[in-house]
Amino acid sequence: MSFLDRRIHLVTGKGGVGRTTVAVALAHAAARAGRRVLLAEIGDPEGGYSAIGRKFGREYLTPEPEPLAEGIMGCHLWAIRGHELFVRSVIPAGPLIKAALASKPLRKFLVAAPSLYEMGVLYHILCLLKQKDERGRPRHEVVIVDMPATGHTLALTSLPAIILNLLPVGPMARAMREGQSYLNDPANGAAWVVTLPEQLPVSEALELLDGLRSTEMPAGGVILNRMPENPFTDEERDALEPLLDETPMHGEIAFQRIGSAEVSSARLKQETSVPVWELPEILGPKDEEPAFSLADFLAPLIASTS
Ligand SMILES: Nc1ncnc2c1ncn2[C@@H]1O[C@H](COP(=O)(O)OP(=O)(O)OP(=O)(O)O)[C@@H](O)[C@H]1O
Ligand SMILES: [Mg+2]
């Protein structure tokens, strides 16, 4: 399967490794390949700015998909919206449900109870995956989710099995089975672990891959972000290393970073069987968005099969 063949991608990883940037770059690359892309972020549309929105020059996103760029729609995955959609699918009594869900205490409860929060988010995702355009085609061919922290990802991917254990029949069970048919089927869904080419982040990425495996979420691969450019041949490296041991030199730290990035990359490739995609450190001006250049590197990778 290639990235482009699957319907849903969860972009996950530790804080600050570049999840949002990579999710946006994947969306640009998939849109350039002609796909109708939905780029989503989990959050509360009433609670602060949107990291994805900012990459497209806007402060907020809404729970309804809106166009962000050519071929890319964007939205907030909102637990409360998912709860509302779910309740409506069971009891079609519109105004009452809206009034009930507008109640502040009920909202607080729904958002604070761990599985209920994830259930709302997952149901919102399912509804978006099933939306059709005016020609009856999926409105969003590829859904890319910029996941929050690692814990949230595992809470979401483990949810269907937990709920099905508790409630094996009924409308909720049906929704969870549908969730599994997208998330746990490698033909439909994949999680991508973004990490940095350093020792600790690589260990954390390997742990996250184990966590995904235990929730039966297929891993599409690891995205090793911010690989430093390596201008040296092996011979040049071997010649330089003893010199640096003797005399401190300008650029020594950058030189060592290249070495440790190569070691981290080799370790990752050795300790996991999933594809490892390397993305370079983009050294443009501070105000230039790295996601655009990263999309060029991702273009051949998302079309390749693995
Ligand atoms: N390949 C890259 N080259 C250069 N800069 C990058 C690259 N990837 C990400 N960045 C920069 O690193 C910073 C952090 O990236 P980003 O916000 O995507 O990380 P994140 O994992 O989503 O963080 P958070 O945990 O806050 O959500 C941003 O300033 C982004 O522009
Ligand atoms: Mg982010």
Cβ neighbours for 239, distance < 8 A, ≥ 6 positions apart: none
Please work out whether the CB of residue 279 comes within 6 Å of at least one atom of ligand 1.
Answer: yes
Please work out whether the CB of residue 8 comes within 6 Å of at least one atom of ligand 1.
Answer: no
- Mutate which of 11, 12, 20, 288 for ligand 1? The one with the most ligand atoms within 8 Å of its CB, which is 20
pLDDT, average across residues 139-147: 98
pTM beyond cutoff 0.85: yes
Measured CA to CA, the distance from residue 119 to residue 133 in angstroms comes to 25
Residue pLDDT, tens place only, 226-278: 999 988 898 998 888 888 888 877 888 888 899 999 999 999 999 999 999 99
pLDDT at 106 over 80: no
What per-residue confidence (pLDDT) applies to 94?
A: 65
Measured CA to CA, the distance from residue 171 to residue 305 in angstroms comes to 36
| Cα 284 to ligand 2 centroid, rounded to whole Å | 20
Measured CA to CA, the distance from residue 87 to residue 96 in angstroms comes to 11
Task: Quote the CATH superfamily of domain 3-303.
Answer: P-loop containing nucleotide triphosphate hydrolases (3.40.50.300)
Report residue 112 as tokens.
């604070």
Please work out whether the CB of residue 20 comes within 6 Å of at least one atom of ligand 1.
Answer: yes
| Higher-pLDDT residue of 209, 253 | 209
In this structure, which ligand is nearest to the CA of 281? 1
> Among 9-23, 216-230, 245-259, where is mean pLDDT lowest?
245-259
What per-residue confidence (pLDDT) applies to 215?
A: 95
In this structure, the residue with its CA closest to atom 19 of ligand 1 is 18
In this structure, which ligand is nearest to the CA of 16? 1
- Among the atoms of ligand 1, which is closest to the Cα of residue 24? 18
Residue pLDDT, tens place only, 36-56: 999 999 987 777 789 999 999
In this structure, the residue with its CA closest to atom 11 of ligand 1 is 18
Residue pLDDT, tens place only, 184-201: 999 999 999 999 999 999
In terms of Cβ atoms closer than 10 Å to its own Cβ (0-12, 13-18, 19+), residue 51 is middle
pLDDT, average across residues 119-142: 96
Residue pLDDT, tens place only, 58-82: 999 999 999 999 999 999 999 989 9
Please work out whether the CB of residue 9 comes within 6 Å of at least one atom of ligand 1.
Answer: no
Measured CA to CA, the distance from residue 44 to residue 61 in angstroms comes to 9
In this structure, which ligand is nearest to the CA of 227? 1
Helices marked H in 8-63: 19-32, 51-55
| Cα 55 to ligand 1 centroid, rounded to whole Å | 11
H or E element that contains 194: strand 189-195
To the nearest whole number, what is the mean pLDDT of the chain? 91
Residue pLDDT, tens place only, 110-124: 666 778 889 999 999
Confidence band for 1, pLDDT divided at 50, 70 and 90: confident
Measured CA to CA, the distance from residue 92 to residue 169 in angstroms comes to 20
Please work out whether the CB of residue 282 comes within 6 Å of at least one atom of ligand 1.
Answer: yes
Residue pLDDT, tens place only, 158-186: 999 988 988 888 888 999 999 999 999 99
- Among the atoms of ligand 1, which is closest to the Cα of residue 21? 18
* Tokens 């009452």 -> residue: 96
Please work out whether the CB of residue 225 comes within 6 Å of at least one atom of ligand 1.
Answer: yes
pLDDT, average across residues 131-151: 94
What per-residue confidence (pLDDT) applies to 70?
A: 97
Residues with CB under 5 A from ligand 2 (ion): 19-20, 51
pLDDT at 109 over 70: no
Please work out whether the CB of residue 226 comes within 6 Å of at least one atom of ligand 1.
Answer: yes
Between CA 142 and CA 145, with CA 60 as vertex, the angle to 5 degrees is 25
- Mutate which of 21, 41, 153 for ligand 1? The one with the most ligand atoms within 8 Å of its CB, which is 21
- Among the atoms of ligand 1, which is closest to the Cα of residue 15? 25
